[in-house]
Amino acid sequence: MFWYEDEVKRLEQEHLKLPYQPKTAFYGSSTITLWDSLYDDFKDFSPVNLGFGGSTLSACAWYFDRVFAQFEEINSVIIYAGDNDLSNNRHPEEIYLFLFQLFENIQRRFGVIDCTYISIKPSPQRWYLNDQVKYTNKIIEKEISQRSNQLHFIDIYNLYLDENHRPNASFYQSDGLHFNKLGHDLLKDKLVGHLSTLVLQ
How many Cβ atoms sit within 10 Å of the Cβ of residue 48? 25
CATH of domain 22-192: 3.40.50.1110
Q: Report pLDDT digits (tens) over 12-30.
A: 999 999 999 999 999 999 9
Show me where the domains of the chain are located: 22-192
Q: Report pLDDT digits (tens) over 51-94.
A: 998 899 999 999 999 999 999 999 999 999 999 999 999 999 99
